[in-house]
Amino acid sequence: MGGEVMGGEAMGGEAMGGASRAGEVLAAALDLAAPAECGGCGRPGTPWCRRCASAVVDDPIALTPRVELDVAAWAAGRYRGPLARAVVELKEHRRRDLIPVLGQVLSHGLLRLAEWEQLPTARRLALIPAPTRAVAARRRGGDPVTAIARSAADRLGPHVAVVPLLSTAPWTRDSAGLSAGRRMANLHGAVAVSRTRPAGLRPPHRDVAVVLIDDVLTTGATAAAAVAALRGAGITVASAVVVASA
Ligand SMILES: [Zn+2]
């Protein structure tokens, strides 16, 4: 787009108008590269301000989802304030610069859970991102949950890997706005487990503990469907950890 403007009308008759338009295009491109607004509070001048950075540091929260989940569920933080806004900015406004911010929140939560002995002791940890509908992932410029999990794993070291194994069938609807019961019905039988998986995750995968990862836990329907699908494929989920509780 920039090239078109520079090579085309900007260099033509109206030099001044063209130059300012090219300037606007460049400013817009720079905005995309480094957003000038804090993703947590909207404060101008920084993509993530110090106040928001300290506000999202929290101890993990034990969750009791509405849909029964027979593994422990934890949130790295509460879905409010800067953390909630950052999740929305990433998912709805493609603020991918916030992936490391949310990855840090998740890695901090996982470390705390390990300290509290709430994660199984295994030689390795596999983070399996909750399933995303392909169409939603495309619209959001890539699956944000997998990206957040990768960022967390990078911080946690070589014993932690992200293993994206789950997808949802194309007939599932976006679950936003659906009740718990409708979410369950929507997801029933719709979560597929990839047949290609790392050797360490073949049953009974004793050396690898599996944690299901999602950005937000609302009713628990997605997590429950994912845990059931993985169990059906011989993979035992130890717990579900989300970035933020709803
Ligand atoms: Zn802020």
Which helix (H) or strand (E) is 191 found in, with range?
Answer: strand 191-193
- How far does residue 217's CA lie from ligand 1's centre (Å)? 23
List of domains in the chain = 54-245 (3.40.50)
- The DSSP output letter for 194 is -
- How far does residue 158's CA lie from ligand 1's centre (Å)? 31
CA angle 203, 166, 245 (to 5 degrees): 105
9-29: average pLDDT: 50
The C-alpha atoms of residue 189 and residue 178 are separated, in whole angstroms, by: 17
Beta-ladder partners of 161: 126
Residues with CB under 5 A from ligand 1 (ion): 38, 40-41, 43, 49, 52
pLDDT tens digits for range 181-238:
777 677 777 898 988 888 899 999 999 999 999 999 988 988 999 999 999 999 999 9
Estimate the crossing angle of helix 144-156 against helix 81-93, to 10 degrees: 120
- How far does residue 146's CA lie from ligand 1's centre (Å)? 24
**What is the percent of the chain with per-residue pLDDT over 70, rounded to a whole number?**
79
Is residue 194 within 8 Å of residue 129, measured between CB atoms? no
Cβ neighbours around 199 below 10 Å, total: 7
- How far does residue 242's CA lie from ligand 1's centre (Å)? 21
- How far does residue 227's CA lie from ligand 1's centre (Å)? 35
- Output the six-digit token pair for 197: 């998986």
The C-alpha atoms of residue 56 and residue 244 are separated, in whole angstroms, by: 10
